[in-house]
Structure 1
Amino acid sequence: MILDASVIFKWYVKKDEADMVQADLILEKFVAGTENIKVPDLLIYEISNALFFCKQLSLQDKQLAIAKFFDLGIEIVPINKNNIIESITIAEKQNITIYDAIYLALAKNFNEPLITANPKHQKLSKNYKVIQLKDYS
């Protein structure tokens, strides 16, 4: 499966987040080895930025969250020519940003679903393999 930052952020900032049960279930399955997760390298910047602006976490908590993410060993997919070309195509067709399109491109290229809590991605579920986090089981 492909995860976006809207799901992974929930692993580290639990207060007032919707769909925590589903987000935690994904993490539990990954740690148990029953679920495979891929993310684009862009996600590192998105998660770091979201944590940076999270007022409820201390600097040390933010640093620890990023360290814990890397320690999980999730497959981080570097952007390559095929992925970015596909992203541009998707962005053009769907009128979304390249930042959003890269997740859909990875899902398409790996033939895996994108799990998301991002409303922009959820709207595209008719054309792509997109599963809303709330529907994950």
Structure 2
Amino acid sequence: MDLTEFIIKEDIKRKFVLDASVVIKWYYFENELDLEIADYIHEKVMADEIIIASPDLMVYEVLNFFIFKLKIPYKKIADMLSELNDIIFIINTDISIQKKAFEISRKIKKPIYDSLYLALSQSLDCPLITADNKLKLEAGKENYPVFLLQEFKNLY
């Protein structure tokens, strides 16, 4: 396949930004809602049917969750990190996204962490998928393209 064909094929795939609240559900199943939908997204990513992007912050949020929630062996964490880096485009945010996140944070009165996902979503022109109801509510008031995990199948 030549480069042009590759770009065309990749361009027709649906693209989404995922926040840590969704990615955590790929690896942690206790008392979590919407696990079937999270697993469905994971399957679509693994089958190379959709493209997922997240800011590098997502990796740290996922790690932080597992450090404080569970005592997971190093090997399992290392495998999880390898998989995340293989299947998600992890974006190192630049100053333009950081400024956008700051503006969004002020507008919707949510932490900069949440706003960073929205800023990346806006920059990539694709929806953000989250399991955070409060983020969906506040971002939705300002018409940001954010959807709850349970709404994913309606988008895909």
TM over 0.5: yes
1:133 partner letter: L
2:7 aligns to what? Answer: none
Which structure would you say has the larger RCO, counting Cα contacts within 8 Å and 6 or more residues apart? 1
Secondary structure of 1:37 counterpart: strand
Larger radius of gyration: 2
Please report how far the alpha carbon of residue 5 of structure 1 lies from its aligned counterpart in structure 2 after TM superposition. 0.1
Alignment of 1:1-137 (within 5 A): 1-55=16-70, 57-70=72-85, 72-123=86-137, 124-126=139-141, 127-137=143-153
Paired residues in the alignment total 136
Which structure has more helix as a fraction of its residues? 2
Q: Percent identity?
A: 34
2:76 partner letter: D
Give, in whole Å, the separation in 1 of the partners of 2:147 and 2:39: 16
Please report how far the alpha carbon of residue 39 of structure 1 lies from its aligned counterpart in structure 2 after TM superposition. 0.3
For structure 2, which runs of at least 5 residues remain unmatched after alignment? 1-15
- CA offsets per residue over residues 67-111 of structure 1, 9 Å max, x none? 3322x3310111101100100100111111111100000111111
- The 8 Å contact of residues 7 and 117 in structure 1, kept in 2 or not, is answered as yes
User: Post-superposition, which runs of at least 4 consecutive aligned residues in structure 1 deviate over 3 A?
Assistant: 56-64
- Give the TM-score normalised by the residue count of structure 1: 0.91
Over the residues paired in the alignment, what is the CA RMSD in angstroms?
1.5
- Give the TM-score normalised by the residue count of structure 2: 0.80
